[in-house]
Amino acid sequence: MDDLIRNINTLNSQGFTFWIEQEGRLRYMLSQSHPEKEEALIWVKENKEKLLELLKFNVKTPETSIFPYIYKYNVDKQHLSFAQERLWFIEKYEQGTNAYNIPIICKLSKGVSVGILERSIKAIIARHEILRTVIKEDSAGSCYQEVIDTNAYPFEIQKVKCISKKELDENIKRDVTHIYDLSNEYPIRVRVYTLEDSNNKEDKQNQNDSDLSTPTYFLSIVIHHIAFDGWSSGIFLEELKEYYRHYIAEQVGHMSQLKLPPLTIQYKDFALWQRNYLTGDVLAKQLSYWKQRLEGYEPLHLHADYARPAEMDYQGRNIPFELDRDLSLRLREAAKSLGVSLYSLMLAC
């Protein structure tokens, strides 16, 4: 199966595009000037049935544009991406760590429908398979992705009542520091906290008398980095707003159309594409480039006030500071002239 996928990606990179029409026919597009046109056509005919089975999710109609370079494959075991594999190695080496948890913690505004919010979050998890994916290993020690069946194992959002701000903070800290069992549980945890604290003076001062009996809600979402990153946060929050808007409109009887495009591929499809794309000449070219760029590098020694512990404990804190506008502009210009990111320049300072 891997050889078949590798051949598809090779042909695709040469301008040979495959798709399946709605009636189930295998179609392709190939430049007339392709240097190996005849050989490619022979290979397609010899592997027609396998291609139909493998690409059966890539259905197109004549009116639609040619589908993306990344195919949606039908395979039993989906490989991890290189980034996922690195994180999986760290998880195994550390025997579980919370260093790669990404928290989204917020206080909900008055009037937010908690029920609709929960429904919206579950809709996002159903939409994005990576948020319900576990990592498995076969008998040979090879790891692969497996999507959780939400019908068999529904995603649960826990509701927790807290009687004090201290109890709330302790609960959220437990959420943020949770160590995931990435082989058996969703890589996302969601909690809705209700704070009924008569001593919470700050909130009470901001409430009208009619609101004094209304509890304050907090939303805790913690997602492991193996399924999420900084770029994902913006997508997640935008989709959450759209699902919430859509369900609220439906609840009050308004006609509403969900303004989210269907997903033509999932992250696992990208992972498989990446695995088969970064091989052969492509991989050799990338390795050659970075070996040349990094030749003669020197390790970066950051000056620290204390000696590093023998075993990393991931303890630390943020220390905010500001640079004036003039210095900021000069640093950006310096980074630009050196051809490096501002992040790299600041590390080297």
The answer to the question of residue 298 being in a domain is: no
Q: For residues 48, 50, 54 and 58, what is the CA-based torsion angle, rounded to 10 degrees?
A: 10
Last residue of a domain, one of 222, 246, 263: 263
- Return the bridge partners of 102, or none: 223
Q: 153 and 55 share a domain?
A: no
Q: Using CA atoms, how far apart are residues 115 and 141, in angstroms rounded to an integer?
A: 42
Q: 47 and 174 share a domain?
A: no
The answer to the question of residue 348 being in a domain is: no
Residue 249 confidence class, pLDDT cut points 50, 70, 90? very high
User: Can you give the pLDDT at residue 348?
Assistant: 79
Among 67-71, 193-197, 231-235, 242-246, which stretch is predicted with the lowest mean pLDDT?
Answer: 67-71
- 63: buried, middle or exposed (CB in 10 Å: 19+, 13-18, 0-12)? exposed
The answer to the question of residue 40 being in a domain is: yes
Helix (H, G, I), strand (E, B) or coil at 102: strand
Q: 250 and 114 share a domain?
A: yes
Task: Give the whole-number percent of the chain exceeding pLDDT 90.
Answer: 50
Work out the mean pLDDT of the chain and round it to a whole number: 84
Q: 106 and 158 share a domain?
A: yes
Which residue from 43, 40, 3, 66 is spatially nearest to 275, judged by alpha carbons?
A: 3
Average pLDDT over residues 251-257: 88
Q: Which residue has the tokens 């091989």?
A: 279
Q: 51 and 178 share a domain?
A: no
Evaluate whether 129 touches 266 at the Cβ level (below 8 Å).
yes
The answer to the question of residue 277 being in a domain is: no
Last residue of a domain, one of 209, 230, 263: 263
Q: 141 and 19 share a domain?
A: no
Q: 56 and 132 share a domain?
A: no
- Torsion over CA: 18, 21, 26, 32 (sign): negative
Q: Which residue has the tokens 């996002």?
A: 124
DSSP letter for each residue of 261-329: PPPS--HHHHHHHHHHHSSHHHHHHHHHHHHHHTTT--------SSPPPSS-------------HHHHH
The answer to the question of residue 329 being in a domain is: no
**182: Cβ–Cβ under 8 A, 6 or more apart, which residues?**
88, 91, 134, 135, 224, 226
Q: 127 and 218 share a domain?
A: yes
Evaluate whether 178 touches 222 at the Cβ level (below 8 Å).
yes
Q: Which residue has the tokens 């046109």?
A: 37
Phi then psi for residue 223, to 5 deg, are -125, 135
The answer to the question of residue 182 being in a domain is: yes
Q: 208 and 240 share a domain?
A: yes
**Residue 46 pLDDT greater than 90, yes or no:** no
Choose between 292 and 62: higher pLDDT: 292
User: Can you give the pLDDT at residue 63?
Assistant: 39
The boundaries of the domain holding residue 33 are 2-60
pLDDT tens figures, 195-215: 986 555 555 555 555 555 678
- Return the bridge partners of 59, or none: 20
Task: Give the whole-number percent of the chain exceeding pLDDT 70.
Answer: 81
Among 16-20, 58-62, 226-230, 260-264, which stretch is predicted with the lowest mean pLDDT?
Answer: 58-62
Highest mean pLDDT among 1-5, 22-26, 272-276: 272-276
**89: Cβ–Cβ under 8 A, 6 or more apart, which residues?**
none
Q: Using CA atoms, how far apart are residues 125 and 105, in angstroms rounded to an integer?
A: 18
Q: 20 and 113 share a domain?
A: no
Q: Which CATH number is 101's domain given?
A: 3.30.559.10
The answer to the question of residue 73 being in a domain is: no
Q: 100 and 245 share a domain?
A: yes
**Residue 13 pLDDT greater than 70, yes or no:** no
Phi then psi for residue 28, to 5 deg, are -150, 160
Last residue of a domain, one of 212, 231, 263: 263
**Residue 149 pLDDT greater than 60, yes or no:** yes
Q: Report the DSSP pairing between strands 78-79 and 143-147.
A: antiparallel
**Residue 2 pLDDT greater than 80, yes or no:** no
The answer to the question of residue 345 being in a domain is: no
Say how many domains are in the chain. 2
Q: 187 and 258 share a domain?
A: yes
Q: Using CA atoms, how far apart are residues 142 and 144, in angstroms rounded to an integer?
A: 7
